[in-house]
């Protein structure tokens, strides 16, 4: 059994989209582009620079969210695309790399949205939960862009999708290193990516309220057992939020994943864990024939909560570009700076606190040595790590300078398992360590006492220099 219209989406199996001409670099002069119907303008803006884009006439959207006519949008340090179904004119001011593509995968993408809408209508009639959609694929395949598009289209239809981020390298409405679940009831802020959280201050677009859990390592492979445990807690919290709100319940979930899951037995096992914990019933594969074949073998005849699991393959957009480590590092540092200091539209002033060495309770995440369990079956290795010590208690030291700590919703008396399973209260940045005075200076978004909470120190996010 399959989703009507989803397994036979027009465009599946076609060649990847191609561009009409090679990228060009536009200077700061103002340029007007005439875009034909079903084409998109793809652009890259370097960090430290910005461009302004204005829709002069027609209709256009960016990752599913419509642009307002005559409104000026500012983009900084991003790679994105503006698509038009019926043609439009846009005005661009500022330096960027750009080109226009006439062949795009938008038709199969929007057909996927309508197939999910049919499932949501059925769920509403039955009082059941909407589709739980998992998007998997290799790095730089366009997973997050597709999810943003599907979420934006659902919001247009009056739905409230819950978007789950399981990629710790890229924080969604939070600092990198965290995993989040966020219900969306208002439009996505096209300039801010996903939008802003309450710590970002006032915003013309309503803020989002993410459920946040901390993993603190860059890849699921760094500590598979801990990653699974955090995923399980996130799934429980998301399921509770789902049942508490009928609008979110009938819309369902859309789950983003890191590219590391797209290859190897360990990655496939993590996908199976997500499918089981989140009760996934739709798996979308993007950009990998091999992964599609493997997921079909594992799940095409399976069920979750008596619902059949449908596996669908979508083509990777020709607009997807590789993001090297330098670009990802810039994105990470920009997200951390925005959390503490705001963005060019909203300047924030974080509170400074001095915490004595004696008052600080800091736990550093252990990264298990995989060679220790290389000859053990996966289940036995997970059992060993799940019962071993999760954190090492750390005394304040200069090594902590410029690091970010997660403040947990737990007490100093709680066990390490309880601390690991707790949600995140917020984050602090270590701005100074004075060994003579035995104090650490931290920056926090709010003026609240943090010394009565456990602070968790992970290797991710890592800062290359001072925020100040």
Binding region for ATP: 40, 79, 140-145
Give the phi and the psi of residue 233 in degrees, each rounded to 5. -65, -40
Tokens, residue 184: 């969306």
Q: How far is CA 138 from the centre of its chain?
A: 15
DSSP annotation of 275 reads H
Residue 172 and residue 170: Cα distance in Å, rounded? Answer: 6
Give the phi and the psi of residue 109 in degrees, each rounded to 5. -65, -45
Q: Spell out a b/e string for 432-441, using b for 16 or more CB atoms within 10 Å of the CB, else e.
A: bbeeeeebbb
* Cβ atoms of 168 and 259 closer than 8 Å: no
Expressed in angstroms, the distance from the first to the final Cα of the chain is 56
Residue 149 and residue 129: Cα distance in Å, rounded? Answer: 21
| Binding residue ranges | 40, 79, 140-145
Residue 442 and residue 439: Cα distance in Å, rounded? Answer: 10
Residue 438 and residue 428: Cα distance in Å, rounded? Answer: 18
Q: 432 vs 36, 139, 396, CA distance in Å? A: 54, 36, 11
Residue 287 and residue 6: Cα distance in Å, rounded? Answer: 17
Q: 81 vs 56, 101, 320, CA distance in Å? A: 17, 10, 10
């Amino acid at each position: 059994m399959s989703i009507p219209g989803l397994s036979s989406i027009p465009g599946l199996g076609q060649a990847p989209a191609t561009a009409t001409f090679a990228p060009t670099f536009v200077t700061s002069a103002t340029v007007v582009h005439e875009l034909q119907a079903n084409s998109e303008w793809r652009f890259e803006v370097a960090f430290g620079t910005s461009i302004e884009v204005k829709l002069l006439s027609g209709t256009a959207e960016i990752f599913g969210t419509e642009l307002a006519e005559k409104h000026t949008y500012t983009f900084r340090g991003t790679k994105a695309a503006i698509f038009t179904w019926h043609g439009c004119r846009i005005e661009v001011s500022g330096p960027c790399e750009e080109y226009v593509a006439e062949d795009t995968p938008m038709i199969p993408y929007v057909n996927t949205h309508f197939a999910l809408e049919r499932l949501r209508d059925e769920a509403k009639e039955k009082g059941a939960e909407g589709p739980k959609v998992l998007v998997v694929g290799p790095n730089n395949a366009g997973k997050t862009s597709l999810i943003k598009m599907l979420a934006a289209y659902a919001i247009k239809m009056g739905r409230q999708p819950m978007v789950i981020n399981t990629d710790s390298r890229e924080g969604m409405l939070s600092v990198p290193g965290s995993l989040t679940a966020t219900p969306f009831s208002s439009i996505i802020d096209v300039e801010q990516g996903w939008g802003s959280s309450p710590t970002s201050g006032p915003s013309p677009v309503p803020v989002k309220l993410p459920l946040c859990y901390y993993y603190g390592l860059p890849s699921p492979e760094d500590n598979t057992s801990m990653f699974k445990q955090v995923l399980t807690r996130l799934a429980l919290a998301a399921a509770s939020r789902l049942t508490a709100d009928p609008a979110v319940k009938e819309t369902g979930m859309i789950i983003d994943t890191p590219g590391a899951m797209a290859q190897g037995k360990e990655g496939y096992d993590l996908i199976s864990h997500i499918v089981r914990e989140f009760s996934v019933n739709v798996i979308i594969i993007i950009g990998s024939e091999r992964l599609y074949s493997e997921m079909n073998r594992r799940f095409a005849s399976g069920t979750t909560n008596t619902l059949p699991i449908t596996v669908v393959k979508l083509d990777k957009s020709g607009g997807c570009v590789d993001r090297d480590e330098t670009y990802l590092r810039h994105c990470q540092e920009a997200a951390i700076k925005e959390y503490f200091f705001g963005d060019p539209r909203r300047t924030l002033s974080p509170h400074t606190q001095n915490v004595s060495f004696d008052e600080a309770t800091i736990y550093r995440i252990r990264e298990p040595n995989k060679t220790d369990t290389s000859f053990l079956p996966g289940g036995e290795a997970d059992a060993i790590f799940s019962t071993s010590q999760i954190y090492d208690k750390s005394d304040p030291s200069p090594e902590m300078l410029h690091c970010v700590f997660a403040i947990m919703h737990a007490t100093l008396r709680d066990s390490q398992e309880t601390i690991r399973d707790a949600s995140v209260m917020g984050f602090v940045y270590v701005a100074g360590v004075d060994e003579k005075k035995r104090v650490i200076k931290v920056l926090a978004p709010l003026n609240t006492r943090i010394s009565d909470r456990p602070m968790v120190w992970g290797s991710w996010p890592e800062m290359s220099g001072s925020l100040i």
